[in-house]
A = this chain, B = another copy of it.
């Protein structure tokens, strides 16, 4: 039997709090999951990344480019029987520029048959 959306949500929040997101990708995500940024990143094809390999690449890019000093994860916040949200707060330094900043974002996750099929990131910005 597949996990409920609340079980998936609690498990993902826990992985994010213990910096074990790589394990979350293996156990909680659908192989064809889609990850959608708030906007297209410079040099990318667009805002959407399709499939687990691409999402693992996004995590690797983040780890290579940012040093995280601290952070917090709030939630999960549930909506209906197929979605939940998390709030991320991060204190991180961009390794290229040396700029340290406090980042905050909302992530919304879609769940189908006990697997995360889509993640969408919402950022503050001008």
Contacts and interface: CB of A to CB of B under 8 A. Distances in A.
A97 interface: no
Interface string A90-126: 0000000000000011101000000000001111110
Interface string A58-99: 000000000000000011111110011101000000000000
Given A87-B106, A106-B85, A106-B106, A125 B36 contact: no
A39 interface: yes
Interface residues on A, range: 20 to 34
Contact of A80 (B39, B85, B87, B104): B39
B77 A106 contact: yes
Contacts of A25: none
